[in-house]
Structure 1
């Protein structure tokens, strides 16, 4: 966690501009793509595999789960609104509020921590891929630094929207670079249970909600400084 704390402290001094709002995303459903564009003359085997994975997830919300923490989560929350099956029934902000590992994130996006930052309606209104820091990730941030971010609506919004990518991305397609809603890129590496986002580990990913695909991560992702 030392890497996260250094990045977090540095970000406080570098983030001086307001983050782009979630409303900048286009309306309607889109499938996210890596920032490097590619052309396809015909459907590739990768595209067909992605479609198959999406179909499997519709039938079984647990079909595409990846991450070493998925089994433990399923054991801890086997049923109810916060279970993998339960989260699939609700839009992402509602689903996150039912997840016992995402209490701090839920408070941050709902205006509970800062009334000027309420992203619930927008998060629930389109398709997204969400990298969701668990409560332990927020707890690892020095209290003074966390409070400074909470009090600055622009900085808080910028950090939160950096965890959101337009469109839904299944685990088998996730590796690559993506432009976030905040306007800055993040990098996903690895595959299967070894996925990492900017170096943060995916605890359990491919969690379906009614409008989003969620990846629980063990660090708060910090946006790079805008040049």
Structure 2
């Protein structure tokens, strides 16, 4: 986990250089600290946890309000503004938002038919509300090249793996722990809380990222459906 965090931080350093020229679509003064989840203690008059409706309202006003994950601050620093930033992604449906995220190039290619023309999930992903566990590029790069090519060449297998990363409905970080039935049909399990969320053993790098129709959790490993 520490090795992955170091690799992720290094990758973000490269992205930060590459994204300096992004056109700002949101406030350029937003900092990593402001993008990170709030750690302030509740007042004595509001000691109870906020309701789901209150959290949804807060997220609508501030897309970074409910972020969780140790990589959120690094991502916000690397992409502080523009379409690929947390604020920018909130404006677009999930497939479009993912295509603007510099960490999700491989995933975007996989769901848009660029890796296999028979697997194009863009309209499906943009057409309803979902929770998406999105493997970053490093997660795909960790798969042996021979195995990755075999998966990409098999439309059924690729579709099965991709839909295993998608859960119907939007689930906030405060409610994400537990088992969830995926679009693929089998369950995945989320454990932990806050900055220590795990999905089937994969670490959540940054979760609770809002798009126009989905809640996204960036993960450090490609999730594989259990063998039936």
TM-score of the aligned structures, taking structure 2 as reference length: 0.78
How many aligned positions are there? 182
Q: Distance in 2 between matches of 1:210 and 1:157?
A: 23
- Between the aligned partners of 1:115 and 1:57, the Cα distance in structure 2 is 35
CA distance in 2, matches of 1:55, 1:169: 14
CA displacement, residues 154-212 of structure 1 (integer Å, 9 cap, x when unaligned): 00000000000000000000000000000000000000000000010000000000000
The equivalent of 2:129 in structure 1 is 127
Q: Which has the higher contact order (CA 8 A, sep 6+)?
A: 1
- Secondary structure of 2:51's counterpart equals helix
* Counterpart for residue 103 of structure 1: 105
SS of the equivalent of 2:212 reads coil
Please give the alpha-carbon distance, in whole angstroms, between the structure 2 residues aligned to 1:192 and 1:49: 17
Aligned twin of 2:22: none
Distance, in Å, in 1 between the alignment partners of 2:132 and 2:124 is 13
* Cα distance in 1 for residues equivalent to 2:182 and 2:57: 25
The yes-or-no answer on 1:144 pairing with 2:146 is yes
Instruction: Give how far 1:134 is off.
Output: 0.1
Residue 189 of structure 1 corresponds to: 191
Output one character per residue of 1:97-125: Cα deviation in whole Å (capped at 9) or x when no partner. Answer: 00000000000000000000000011000
Cα distance per residue 1:14-54 (max 9 Å; x no partner):
xxxxxxxxxxxxxxxxxxxxxxxxxxxxxxx77x6222211
Backbone CA RMSD of aligned residues? 1.1
Gaps of 5+ in 1: 2-44
Match of 2:115 among 109, 113, 116: 113
2:7 aligns with none
Instruction: Please give the alpha-carbon distance, in whole angstroms, between the structure 2 residues aligned to 1:66 and 1:56.
Output: 15
Correspondence for 1:11: none
Give 2:70's aligned residue.
68
TM-score normalised to the size of structure 1?
0.79
Q: How does 1:1-227 map to 2 (within 5 A)?
A: 49-226=51-228
The secondary structure found in structure 2 opposite 1:187 is: strand
Following TM superposition, by how much is the alpha carbon of 1:214 offset from its aligned partner in structure 2, in angstroms? 0.1
Q: CA separation in 1, counterparts of 2:190 and 2:215?
A: 15
